[in-house]
Structure 1
Amino acid sequence: MTYYPDLAFPGAKEAVGRFAAFAVERGVRRLVLLSGRGEEGAVASEDALKACGNDWTVVRANWFNQNFSESFFLDPVRSGELALPTGDAVEPFVDADDIADVVVAALTDDRHIGRIYELSGPRLLSFHDVARELSAATGRTITYIPVSVDDYRAALRELGEPEEFADLFTLIVDGRNASLVHGVREALGREPRDFADYAKEAAATGVWDA
């Protein structure tokens, strides 16, 4: 189960609870919820899932590598400028393929019932580091430009995106997730994928061609 735009947003708890109850009533035995690491607001949605009487697993993830190639950082990377309200903060970005592998394991192996896995990548990266990795992978100059939260909110308004997205950067800026966790290893018995490997593979697809 996933919830867009984010489990911490208003209405998420109610939607997750209704959907989980609907699924259980129709014979679904096991549900896995994609949650966010360090998001207090997401815990209410996790509790709504657990209350439905099914087998459950919660997967709390850091920000995804794929945000840069499949989501809201894609166009900035293509343009060569990542203008974000993150200062010099660091984040252990996790690969969506690692998340998917953990979810498959949770759905198919009883060992994962009732577990909460926290997933991160193998190292801490600032957005300066990310820009360097993306530049190396693409052969282009990708620049990170720190901006204020107010400026970022204004940019979101212009793009027609929810301004609440700006609030999610608090999860990076305040340092709550500025440490490595080992859910990938705990669930799968292997190390998580590194951002540099992700960047090389994504660049080879042409997704970041200007």
Structure 2
Amino acid sequence: MTTNTDVTTVLVTAATGKTGRRVVERLAGRGLEVRAGSRGGGTPFDWERPETWGPALDGADLVYVAYYPDLAAPGAAEALGAFGRLAAAAGARRVVLLSGRGEAEAVAAEEALRDALGGGVELAVVRAAFFVQNFTEGFLAEGAAAGEFAFPAGAVAEPFVDAGDVADVVVAALTEDGHAGAVHEVTGPRPLTFAEAAAEIGALAGREVRYVPVSAERYAAELAGHGWPEEQAAWLAGLFASLLDGHNASATDGVRRVLGREPRGFAEALGAAPGPLAPGAVA
């Protein structure tokens, strides 16, 4: 594939998130002008404040879209449609969208963005598996560091993907030709159950880490007990339960097809992560 060298500005939405900050780092390392959009950053961008979208898009040639809280969330398709119309009007040439693997609602949001962009803007979609980094810098990090985490996944396996691999695929789709219309489904090299993931975390950290399977209802109640609004807690728990019912339990070759190398394994990705799960660390 050829790399485009005429890029002036790249807008990265959710630029402080797991993939967003990694995409920013990689693009900046290539000498590109990066506009890091976030709620409190130099480029104000907030999915809940549509008035921030237009100014952030103004002059952006390439755009990375990471929607918060999730493409399967209520209202996501409408938001992506509105954003896409603004992006097309602002003159964006190429858009890469982060999506969820096996999420029917997310596909509806993908289509809304594709329709809004029209034929004049290239769109590539990166559908990612469950991030390894959810255990190190996400919602499971506190429990994993403390030695026990509860989650509504039962004994289902998941091919956890490294957020760094996702960022590498996103950057390739943004900066290389040949990805227009592509849907890249990216996973790690092999599926693990959450119990197996806990064992690998424990082996790396040198201490026991336990996974406690719970029902979606129990998980929602625990979220509500930690201050989440009940409706939002129920939605999130239901989303996790629907994604982890076995239909996503196989690995893909998406990373290899885009990058020409194998994806990082679970332990390798964990070992590269700073913080309480680093080798020899204690909670």
Partner of 1:117: 184
TM-score by length of 2: 0.71
Q: Deviations over 1:27-58 (max 9, x none)?
A: 11110000011000001111012111211000
Partners of 2:91 and 2:227 lie apart in 1 by 39
Q: Cα distance, 1:160 vs. partner?
A: 2.5
Q: Do the aligned residues in 2 keep the contact of 1:95 with 1:121 (CA within 8 Å)?
A: yes
Q: Cα distance, 1:171 vs. partner?
A: 4.0
- 3-state DSSP of counterpart to 2:219: helix
Partner of 2:162: 95
With over 3 angstroms needed to count, the CA separation of the structure-2 counterparts of 1:172 and 1:133, relative to structure 1, is farther
Q: Cα distance, 1:4 vs. partner?
A: 1.1
Instruction: Read off the aligned partner of 2:103 and give its amino acid letter.
Output: E
Q: Cα distance, 1:188 vs. partner?
A: 1.0
Partner of 2:94: 30
Is structure 2 residue 259 aligned with structure 1 residue 195?
A: no
Q: Which has the higher contact order (CA 8 A, sep 6+)?
A: 1
Partner of 1:2: 66
The unaligned stretches of length 5 or more in structure 1 are: none
Question: Larger radius of gyration, structure 1 or 2?
Answer: 2
Q: Deviations over 1:64-121 (max 9, x none)?
A: 0111111100111122111111111100000111110111111111111110010110
Task: Please give the root-mean-square deviation of Cα atoms over the aligned residues, in Å.
Answer: 1.2
Instruction: Read off the aligned partner of 2:179 and give its amino acid letter.
Output: H
Q: Cα distance, 1:172 vs. partner?
A: 4.3
Q: Cα distance, 1:177 vs. partner?
A: 0.4
Structure 1 residue corresponding to 2:136, chosen from 66, 69, 86: 69
Structure 1 residue corresponding to 2:145, chosen from 63, 73, 78: 78
Partners of 1:206 and 1:93 lie apart in 2 by 19
Number of equivalences: 208
More helix by share: 1
Partners of 1:96 and 1:116 lie apart in 2 by 17
With over 3 angstroms needed to count, the CA separation of the structure-2 counterparts of 1:172 and 1:48, relative to structure 1, is closer
Q: Do the aligned residues in 2 keep the contact of 1:38 with 1:171 (CA within 8 Å)?
A: no
Deviates more, 1:117-126 or 1:151-160: 151-160
The unaligned stretches of length 5 or more in structure 2 are: 1-64
Deviates more, 1:25-34 or 1:164-173: 164-173
TM-score by length of 1: 0.95
Q: Do the aligned residues in 1 keep the contact of 2:103 with 2:243 (CA within 8 Å)?
A: no
Deviates more, 1:172-181 or 1:27-36: 172-181
